Amino acid sequence: MSLALPTLPQGRVLDVVRAPSQILSMSAALVDPAHPAVVQLCADLIATMRVSPGCVGLAGPQVGVAAQAFCVDVSTHPKTRTSHGLIVLLNPEIVEASRNEKGREGCMSVPDLTGDVRRASKIIVAGQLPLSGERVLITTDAFEARALQHEIDHCKGMLFLDRVIGAHALYARKVYLAPRGTADS
């Protein structure tokens, strides 16, 4: 059920922008899928996501680039029911959405908080692949649907904080420390 992604160049690990950076609240620009800078951005998003523990998605604005580009890969996450493997989309849009459900979300750009957010549990997303510009439709549900919607929000200048159900549904992120005497102490 994986997408046939084109071969991208070697990605660079970029710094992740944190709230309240202004770029996170700006609507990102549509991009040309074949432009070399856009193709490199896609590779950089993947590389940055891969080295970030617990990260299942990353969008252009999160690395300081106001471009409608993101990557998502929920394949190894324990909450995953449906997975298309690595997804890289440009100029994304939600075509169809249904069955809103509450779920906990976090974000690399808001590292200290998580929150309960209502999102569609079944969606169809349209977007373009890097390099070829081929338009694809992705039909998915559950955790992958949530991750895709989260990254599409970044492309629209929104954070999950903009969708948190209320102040009572915002939580400090738990940090787990290794016990004393282990290699990490």
pLDDT digits (tens, 9 = 90+) for 15-55: 999 999 999 999 999 999 999 999 999 999 999 999 999 89
Query: Which fold would CATH assign to domain 22-172?
Result: Peptide Deformylase (3.90.45)
Amino acid at position 68, single letter: Q
Q: What is the pLDDT of residue 181?
A: 45
Mean pLDDT of the region 122-150:
98
Helices (H) and strands (E) in the chain, counts: 2, 6
Token pair 């004393």: residue: 180
pLDDT greater than 50 at residue 180: no
Task: With cut-offs at 50, 70 and 90, classify the pLDDT of residue 185.
Answer: very low
Between 54-58, 138-142, 172-176, the lowest mean confidence (pLDDT) is in 172-176
CB burial string 35-52: b at 16+ within 10 A, e below? eeebbbbbbbbbbbbeee
In sequence order, the β-bridge partners of residue 102 are: 118
28 in Cβ contact with 157 (< 8 Å): yes
Q: What is the pLDDT of residue 5?
A: 87
Q: What is the pLDDT of residue 3?
A: 79
- pTM as predicted: 0.91
CA 116 distance to own-chain centroid: 17
> Is 151 annotated as catalytic?
yes
Q: What is the pLDDT of residue 1?
A: 60
113: exposed, middle or buried (Cβ count in 10 Å: 0-12, 13-18, 19+): middle
pLDDT digits (tens, 9 = 90+) for 69-114: 999 999 999 999 999 999 999 999 999 999 899 999 999 999 999 9
Give which of 128, 130, 156 is closest to 138, Cα–Cα.
128
Question: Which one of the listed residues 96, 101, 144, 151 is annotated catalytic?
Answer: 151
